[in-house]
Structure 1
Amino acid sequence: MMIEEMKLQLIYRAYYPISITLSLITNILLLFIMKTTRSALLKDMQYYLLNTAICEILVSASTFLAQCRPVANKTTLAVFCYGPCKHFGPNTCFFMFALVQASVVAASFSILLSFYYRYRLLQVHVKNARSHKKTIAIFSLLPTSMLIFQLFTESDFAVVEAETRTLHPDYDYTNNSLIGFSNTKGVGGTISQISISLGVYSAPFIALYYKRKINKVITSNTSNQRIPVAYCKQLINGLLLQTMVPFVVYIPPFTYVLVSQFTGHSSLYAEYLLNTLGSFTAFINPLLTFYYVLPYRRALCKRVFKYFPSVSEEGTDITTYPAAANFHRGNTAITKV
């Protein structure tokens, strides 16, 4: 095993436990604030924020369990898995790797779904729980299809290992589970790559498209808005930043893997970097939600840090519930934000 690989393994043995701990803390805290805080400005938006939080928890959990790094060969795609999944066999690691890819795309699409909902809300103003579930189900089709295609892509692990050992004889083959796709240029592999590429590359452009449409609506109908314009713009800017974070941290290494599959050349550092950056957003997005969603930010300051900022914004009434309350009217305390 190369000295560089030994050093990287030591670094990532520390990184993954820290990453999942931060992700679980921030996302569970967000779920707690969502449950104990009600805002007239958010209303049904919580369905979509909840969907994003669940997707991010799934990203961090699957990334930790797999701890995988892809190695692009000439005809195969090898995946080294160092996580707990290796103790349950290669098929478990194969499923976890596919789940990592699908959950990252699902998390990105969940933020796009929030954009779509905000745009539809400004136009229609009428939503119900059934329509929310239907919309979320439609948007989940691409990540689900991507997961299915990956699971049914040709995956002869012996073929993958043989080519990987030939091209990379100095890699560590003892402390991990080696899985992968034995025919990346076949029908299943091609469809899987196209699905992943659509999810990764299209998200920022779709977000920019809806941002322009939303800004056009709120600037042309300011007199009829039920939601303060400044508040709406702040929320949209937060959603845009959440969409751009994966664009910045995930697309470069993912592009490198695609190029490596055609050229047959790979870099050890780029291989480790891909999965790391994919999990990075799992604890960054909840922090962005806290900052850009004003009722949650103020509820966090008051309930967790025991500090109530003096910043005020007209129309941002929030209702904060005790943690153990059953949401009865008698248990509420109205706070003017």
Structure 2
Amino acid sequence: MLNTFIFLLHILPNIIGLVLNAVLFFLAQYRSPRAIKKYSILIVNFAICDFFACLTSLFVCQRIIPNGTSLFYISEGPCQYFGARTCYVSYSVMLHLYAHTLYSTLLSFSFRYYVLNYRPPSRTTLKLIILLIYLPSFVQMILFSFADDPPEILVPLLQAKHPNYNLAGRTVTGHLNVFEWKALSTILHMTLPVTPVYICILVLRRAIIRYLTESTMSPKTRHLHHQLLR
């Protein structure tokens, strides 16, 4: 019963995320007001990234089991019917999408602050910036995709450490040693930037609010900027 509840708790938020991001993509791509056409590029980027993050999360349904310096994954999603390698690479794709979502959020606030003080960049420039901030996440995905150890080694080890687990027919992937450089670089990239990025976001948000409060602009423009901060 508990396992079913946890499984549903994993599935339902991702299904909701798929629906909401599909709606967000449609509105940003086809219904954006002219005043935010350039900003809509960032919204579309975020919606696509988050949509596929939810999709890969559903596809993998990963259960993570840490044990000392080892890290095991049991995949309970549809990926298990395509093999352990498919599950692991899909998980790597999911993680890199999470990383890109973080950077995309920072880019969104940076853009909103920038356009309050300077001329908005062109659509081409925006797309190039998105590509540039995507590169670290892409490199992470490539490295992490080759950081796994063979399931035939992992399964006996996991079974020995947790003899109460029934691993018959389960899809198990993971790392014997998370301090191996490809795995460690991904862990560091997924964790270390989070705090400084969110501090930057909070600083930018406060600066934007202060600018909107102190500057002279039309009520419509002020309202639009406040709406984008929500």
- Corresponding residue for residue 323 of structure 1: none
- Corresponding residue for residue 151 of structure 1: 145
> What amino acid sits opposite 1:186 in the alignment?
E
Percent identity, aligned pairs only, is 20
Larger Cα-atom Rg: 1
Q: How far apart are residue 43 of structure 1 and its match?
A: 2.2
1:57 pairs with one of 32, 51, 55: 51
> What amino acid sits opposite 1:143 in the alignment?
S
Q: What secondary structure is seen at the aligned counterpart in 2 of 1:70?
A: strand
Deviates more, 1:35-44 or 1:69-78: 35-44
Deviations 1:169-217 (A, max 9, x none): 1123135300001221122222111111134444322211221332343
1:141 pairs with one of 119, 135, 139: 135
> Structure 1 pair 191/38, CA: closer, same or farther in 2 (3 Å)?
closer
CA distance in 1, matches of 2:45, 2:191: 22
Query: Does structure 1 conserve the Cα–Cα contact (< 8 Å) formed by 2:149 and 2:175?
Result: yes
- Corresponding residue for residue 241 of structure 1: none
Q: How far apart are residue 226 of structure 1 and its match?
A: 9.3
Deviations 1:220-274 (A, max 9, x none): 4x125796234313322x2xxxxxxxxxxxxxxxxxxxxxxxxxxxxxxxxxxxx
Deviates more, 1:164-173 or 1:83-92: 164-173
CA distance in 2, matches of 1:127, 1:190: 36
> Structure 1 pair 173/29, CA: closer, same or farther in 2 (3 Å)?
same
> What amino acid sits opposite 2:83 in the alignment?
G
> Structure 1 pair 226/51, CA: closer, same or farther in 2 (3 Å)?
farther
CA distance in 1, matches of 2:87, 2:2: 20
Matched, 1:11 2:16: no
The Cα RMSD (Å) is 2.3
Query: Does structure 1 conserve the Cα–Cα contact (< 8 Å) formed by 2:25 and 2:43?
Result: no
> Structure 1 pair 229/11, CA: closer, same or farther in 2 (3 Å)?
same
- Corresponding residue for residue 234 of structure 1: 227
- Corresponding residue for residue 184 of structure 1: 178
Query: Does structure 2 conserve the Cα–Cα contact (< 8 Å) formed by 1:41 and 1:227?
Result: no
- Corresponding residue for residue 62 of structure 2: 68
> What amino acid sits opposite 1:189 in the alignment?
A
- Corresponding residue for residue 102 of structure 1: 96
CA distance in 2, matches of 1:20, 1:208: 26
Query: Does structure 1 conserve the Cα–Cα contact (< 8 Å) formed by 2:29 and 2:40?
Result: no
Deviates more, 1:92-101 or 1:44-53: 92-101
1:125 pairs with one of 119, 129, 134: 119
> What amino acid sits opposite 2:198 in the alignment?
P
Which residues of structure 2 form unaligned runs of 5+? none
- Corresponding residue for residue 170 of structure 1: 164
Q: How far apart are residue 16 of structure 1 and its match?
A: 4.9
Q: How far apart are residue 158 of structure 1 and its match?
A: 3.1
Q: How far apart are residue 60 of structure 1 and its match?
A: 0.9
CA distance in 1, matches of 2:7, 2:209: 44
Q: What secondary structure is seen at the aligned counterpart in 2 of 1:111?
A: helix
- Corresponding residue for residue 71 of structure 2: 77
Q: Within 5 A, what are the aligned runs for 1:255-294?
A: none
Query: Does structure 1 conserve the Cα–Cα contact (< 8 Å) formed by 2:64 and 2:73?
Result: yes
> Structure 1 pair 203/163, CA: closer, same or farther in 2 (3 Å)?
farther
CA distance in 2, matches of 1:79, 1:99: 15
Q: What secondary structure is seen at the aligned counterpart in 2 of 1:43?
A: helix
By relative contact order (CA 8 Å, sep 6+), the higher-ranking structure is 1
Which residues of structure 1 form unaligned runs of 5+? 1-6, 239-337
> What amino acid sits opposite 1:39 in the alignment?
P
User: How many residues of Structure 1 are paired with residues of Structure 2 in the alignment?
Assistant: 230
Deviates more, 1:86-95 or 1:200-209: 200-209
